[in-house]
Structure 1
Amino acid sequence: MSTRFFRPRRVVESSLGIVLFLALWEALPRLGLVNAGYLSPPSAVLESIMELARSGALWKHLQASLWRSLAGLGIAIVSGVGLGLLMGWFARLERIVDPILQLFRQTSALALFPVFILFLGIGEGSKIAIIFWASFWPILLSTLSGVRQVDTLLVQSALSMGAGKRFLFLNVVLPAASPSIFTGIRLAGAYCITALVAAEMIGAHSGLGFLTLNSQEVFQIPSMYAGILLLAVVGLAVNALLALLERRFTRWRRGLKHGA
């Protein structure tokens, strides 16, 4: 049983690529094959991260980035899933709303950033808004697609047994659409980090995106790579959080099916 769930060979194979990448990254500047002024080795990047942690700057930047990304993504999840379910459930609402949504969907979040700044100012509101805008669309479209693709046989079977609309929605449509919904949410998690970097590089005084850009401008290259690396870690953390929520939601769905 233990070898079934824990396979050392798989762990080694999964880690091998990262280890080789880090070793190559460390070797290239150390051997003079790449200018160390442009490509800092991982050891120097790690030292920069430790220095940022000792000075307290790391926590300030990390806290600002996490707050913005989770706030924008959270608003996108609530509004995207809610609107997607409504549009999928009410065909007339979809016909009314879909044309204007298709128009807005083609508008880049970066193109709207000046508009967000104009209405919301240069503070947190505009940064959260751009993250929300980038994250909203994959959630909405995946939710709508999930509701549309619910097996009609399931719906007809529930109706034939006298299920009401509320029961049908909560116990048939929502569980059946949940895989597609979480696909959109996981995709939005990646988009939210991309939008976070853009938001923090314009008019920000904190955050990992600001740290990356500011370090490049003052030619503190190890700190620049530290910011890039930490952004990747934040992206992995957000993805892990969403994966945890997906597993918990799946357990709830399985329990609901067994109870029904």
Structure 2
Amino acid sequence: MASVSVTTSQVLAREALQEASRTAGTAPGLLTRLLRGTARAAVAVGRRTAAIVALAAIWEVLPRLDVVDPTFLPPLSQVLVAWWDLLLSGELLDHTQASLVRSLAGCALAIVAAIPLGLLIGWYRPVADFLNPLLELFRNTAALAILPVFVLILGLGETSKVSIILYACAWPILLNTIAAVRGVDPLLVKSARSMGLRPFRLFQKVILPAAVPTIFTGIRLAGAYSILVLVAAEMVGAKAGLGYLINYAQFNFRVPEMYAGILTISVLGLLLNLLLVRLERRFSTWRVSR
């Protein structure tokens, strides 16, 4: 009986030692993998931000060396100081809020109007044949070219600004939606029809999921257009907005504030694009991640 107890205790002791050795060997391995993953992430972030850091350094150095006239292109540090002063005064937040409301409203209305129309045109050939001449006429008319028309008809208020953004954003969404529907693999459509799917279910289960990535490409383009057109729209008869801030600072020769407004618009465009990328991933969860 005693020998059995000794043997059992030896087995338990051996297992404890093995577990300890595994733990001791695993902890450094986990630490090593963690450090390697952190290093890879740091390298990836460094590669993505290297160009921005280089641009910031060039922007700071060239005006101080008088390579460019600092009166018209002040160093980046002066621009950031002006940006911070505008932020503390609350002026920047007011202008940013006004611009975001106009931009998001115009872009949202474009999404609501252009996606259903694009799906209809891409899916039904008679509708496409009827509307194509009209689409070809207006798609080649730049939004800024007809900005005076919107101002004359709708006035200088918010309606004209939101409408011109709606017009500019609708085209990339509409054209990408049409291309997305028409670009669905015919073999998928034939396979679905051979399985007995009715037209509505075919559209819901095959056409629409396959078209989502291309539609979101159009939405991302529209997001960029909403910011670009917004600046021009706010330079005409606006009393608030980043476009108004840039225009006002230019006329009053407050150059650092002008560049602060430009930087703010660039950051807003970047954040809007990141948001749309996340939404695309959310609505395209069926795709294989790369």
Q: Give the TM-score of the pair, scaled to structure 1.
A: 0.93
* Unaligned 5+ runs, structure 2: 1-32
Aligned residues: 254
Cα shift readout 1:19-55 (whole Å, capped 9, x = no counterpart): 1211111112222332221111111111111111111
The secondary structure found in structure 2 opposite 1:7 is helix
**Structure having the higher Rg:** 2
In structure 2, C-alpha distance between the alignment counterparts of 1:101 and 1:25, rounded to whole Å = 43
The secondary structure found in structure 1 opposite 2:197 is coil
Q: CA deviation at 1:90?
A: 1.2
Equivalent runs, 1:140-219 vs 2, <5 Å:
140-219=174-253
Cα shift readout 1:108-162 (whole Å, capped 9, x = no counterpart): 2112212211222111111111111111111111110110111111111111111
The secondary structure found in structure 1 opposite 2:284 is helix
Q: CA deviation at 1:4?
A: 5.7
In structure 1, C-alpha distance between the alignment counterparts of 2:86 and 2:143, rounded to whole Å = 31
Cα shift readout 1:186-231 (whole Å, capped 9, x = no counterpart): 1111112111111111111111111111101100000000011111
- In structure 2, what residue type is equivalent to 1:197? V
Quick one: which of 135, 138, 146 aligns to 1:101?
135
In structure 1, C-alpha distance between the alignment counterparts of 2:66 and 2:190, rounded to whole Å = 69
- In structure 1, what residue type is equivalent to 2:147? F
- In structure 1, what residue type is equivalent to 2:45? V
- In structure 1, what residue type is equivalent to 2:185? D
Cα shift readout 1:58-93 (whole Å, capped 9, x = no counterpart): 111000111111111111111111100011111111
The secondary structure found in structure 2 opposite 1:94 is helix
More displaced 10-residue stretch of structure 1: 50-59 or 111-120: 111-120
- In structure 2, what residue type is equivalent to 1:88? G
In structure 2, C-alpha distance between the alignment counterparts of 1:111 and 1:90, rounded to whole Å = 31
- In structure 1, what residue type is equivalent to 2:281? R
Q: Which residue of 2 aligns with 1:55?
A: 89
Identity among equivalent positions (%) equals 52
Q: Which residue of 2 aligns with 1:258?
A: none
- In structure 2, what residue type is equivalent to 1:87? I
CA RMSD after TM alignment:
1.6
* Unaligned 5+ runs, structure 1: 256-260
Q: In the alignment, does 2:37 pair up with 1:7? A: no
The secondary structure found in structure 2 opposite 1:100 is helix
Q: Which residue of 2 aligns with 1:85?
A: 119
Cα–Cα, structure 1 residues 4 and 76, in superposed 2: closer, same or farther, change >3 Å? Answer: farther
